A and B are shown apart, each in its own frame.
Chain A
């Protein structure tokens, strides 16, 4: 992709304008904060996990459109999924935006999250898209902090 405008598709812009699942869950069972030290993006994830299922998830923080829309779409995508599925999605997502997937690899778990595949052509923005997923991974592992350092 030579034109970054291709990445800023309507879905991404719309989720940036009106992020879903924005806020903080009271009585959460899992929690983590993510930082991108390079650009100062900050993200806080709160989750309620019961019987191995992501019952509820919210995020809050400040960041660019890639970061915010990625967090918004992620929270929608993992809600109701099992922890194992969420982890598998995180792995596929990271592989996709880092351009590490073998050509032709299917990413059936990701659904419309494949919108972010163009990020791999904007290396300076990969960390923005990954931050919510890195934070999710940390929260699921019981770690308090994630960094895309």
Chain B
């Protein structure tokens, strides 16, 4: 930890999250489920409310002052995203409904354009269903196949495997930056370099990475980088597709409709350039503006401080959980974000999830939309605790005692 970094004032931060003062089932809420959805701080909620109360209209339409104002706020949010991930141009930032839609957009445009019968799409073994299913659908349509990058028992990808896995039929590599189940921070820069050396473009699923680490798409040299607003202390219904401009310009549009055209006649329609080409219809304006405010909020806290605090919390939680008899942590990579999946001998994750819920502790129990990861570790499901910058050591202690109570009950 960098000692020059001033620690976060977590007590003050917690006041920005009204949900954290709720009492559920007679117990104070302990929210350890930020990997499912991050909580929105008050400035984000208030900014969205202000838009809906005082500024609501449509964007990119008409000459009214209101419409221009909304457009300015909406485009300012796009610029915040650009700066946040280090993209070169706002033309490279496309609003989507979320990570899933962003991946489907790439699969249905770039993928359809480049993948032919007999080609291969290479995916890591720790992908979320969002970065599997759209490619399977495309592969089925085109007569292409999916290949998988293996991982170790610790939950680390084996980059050396790429040397054999990337062939002259490989048309795209998809990799998750941070695993939503294992917490592994993948060395995507190295993977991208290996792929590029063989001319293969790379899509990075950054949904679980952007809340925890400073991302620089130029430094990574990612062809596509996608994430969701709601994991980033922002609202649901908004997400981001970053794409290199050269790709975006070569790609056909996806959805057709208003806002994405240059001109329409019965004979022929011409399209806008990026990003407009990919943004048919009215976008979620308040959500985009809210995401911009969330980025402001996190930037003000400082990613170095957030990362330092979360790492310390992760280390503490890992140590406490590892001491519980019969508890096994899945995902012990050297580089991890603050996500811990575990199984407890003799207690199914859903039972544990219900019992923790009874103690006010909110965790995720299930397959985490990553059934191939469950299969890889030979478990039907796991319980997952994920930590954000507003969580505390005391909350970890409550989690641990709630697990111990459940073990006692099931003994």
Contact = CB atoms under 8 A, between A and B. Distances in A.
Given A40-B380, A64-B348, A2 B354 contact: no
B371 interface: yes
Nearest to A128: B350
Interface residues of A, number: 22
A14 to B, nearest CB: 11
Interface in B368-395: 371, 374, 380-381
A2 B410 CA distance: 19
Contacts of A40: 366-367, 371, 374, 380-381
Contacts of B26: 2-3
A107 interface: no
A16 B275 CA distance: 55
B197 interface: no
Interface string B341-375: 00000111111001101100000011100010010
A51 B25 CA distance: 50
Contacts of B349: 64
Given A5-B358, A39-B366, A65 B351 contact: yes
A13 B371 contact: no
Given A122-B354, A125-B354, A2 B348 contact: no
Contact of A66 (B351, B367, B371): B351
B264 interface: no
A125 B355 contact: no
Interface in B290-324: none
A105 interface: no
A63 B366 contact: no
Contacts of A8: 351, 355, 409-410
A4 B367 contact: no
Given A62-B380, A128-B350, A3 B25 contact: yes
Interface residues of B, number: 21
B366 A13 contact: no
Contacts of B374: 40
Interface in B205-259: none
A106 interface: no
Interface in A6-43: 7-8, 13, 16-17, 38-41
A16 B371 CA distance: 24
A3 B374 CA distance: 29
Given A40-B371, A40-B374, A3 B354 contact: no
B358 A4 contact: yes
A125 B358 contact: no
B366 A64 contact: no
The 7 A-B pairs at the shortest CB distance, nearest first, are namely A64-B348, A64-B350, A4-B358, A4-B354, A65-B351, A2-B25, A64-B351
Given A3-B26, A122-B354, 19 more contacts: A2-B25, A2-B26, A2-B358, A4-B355, A4-B357, A4-B358, A8-B409, A38-B366, A39-B365, A39-B366, A39-B381, A40-B366, A40-B367, A65-B347, A65-B348, A66-B350, A66-B351, A124-B354, A128-B350
26 contacts: A2-B358, A3-B26, A3-B358, A4-B358, A5-B358, A5-B409, A8-B409, A8-B410, A13-B409, A13-B410, A17-B346, A39-B350, A39-B367, A40-B371, A40-B380, A41-B380, A63-B348, A63-B380, A64-B349, A65-B347, A65-B348, A65-B410, A66-B350, A124-B354, A125-B350, A128-B350
Interface of A: 2-5, 7-8, 13, 16-17, 38-41, 62-66, 122, 124-125, 128
